[in-house]
Structure 1
Amino acid sequence: MADPLPWFRVHLFACTNRRPEGHRRGSCAARGSEMLRDYMKARAKEMGLPGIRVNSAGCLDRCEFGPVIVIYPEAIWYQARTKEDVDEILATHVRDGGRVPRLMLTEQDVPPAKA
């Protein structure tokens, strides 16, 4: 049996986890991720991008680099701190199929060891 067709061509998950104020790792929500997620949803619609879904995610465990988004099916991780970052990711990655190297998180970007 073949897999069913995907519901979405591209799925963007934006971490909106909020840790307590002063937590050593910080949190994406404390750095404005909820506003950026809302902006990303609206901007994707404005751009007329077909077949995409923007969702909130719980902790993606890259708190120190947040706000963080991950895009599937490619499993590419980005740090998006401004509306301009979101615009660049939507245009370059989602619309044009490219990458935004200056915002990408790689296997080099790991949380520090727990104390």
Structure 2
Amino acid sequence: MTDQPFYQHHVFFCMNEREGKDARQSCGKCGSEKAQKHAKKRIKELGLSGEGKVRINQAGCLDRCEEGPVLVVYPEGVWYTYVDNEDIDDIIDTHLVGGKVVDRLKI
């Protein structure tokens, strides 16, 4: 057994969608599916997917929807919010590739 994590970075996008007229904001209604698919595609294009690299996943409720849409990057445990694909690209380029937190998007 190794001390190395299976993935260098594991990214979870909250995909939760609350229903009902009194439902709170939810990430699923704020474009999280589109953003997650964009991130997954971009990571593959950059050759960063697979064991020892980056994994982009969907997640159920991460319970921070009011700050969202949200994603979290592990093993660092850094939480981000985002608006569009440019924000997702900034997280990929700056954090996942460059190793620096994107302060303007950090929760």
**Is TM more than 0.5 here?**
yes
Task: Using the TM superposition, give the Cα deviation of residue 5 of structure 1 relative to its aligned residue in structure 2, in angstroms.
Answer: 3.4
Name the structure 1 match of 2:75. 73
Query: Cα distance 1:53–1:64, how it changes in 2: closer, same or farther (>3 A)?
Result: same
Q: CA deviation at 1:67?
A: 1.1
CA displacement, residues 76-114 of structure 1 (integer Å, 9 cap, x when unaligned): 000022000000000000000001111000xxxxxxxxx
Matched with 2:91 is 89
The residue type equivalent to 2:34 in the other structure is: M
In structure 2, C-alpha distance between the alignment counterparts of 1:100 and 1:7, rounded to whole Å:
24
CA RMSD of aligned residues (A): 1.5
Q: How many residues align?
A: 104
- The structure whose Rg is larger is 1
**Structure-1-length-normalised TM-score:** 0.83
Distance 2:35 2:90 in 1: 13
2:29 alignment partner in structure 1: 30
Q: 1:63 aligns to what? A: 65
Is residue 103 of structure 2 the alignment partner of residue 101 of structure 1?
yes
Identify unmatched segments of 5+ residues in structure 1: 106-115
Return the TM-score normalized by structure 2: 0.89
**What percent identity do the matched residue pairs reach?**
45
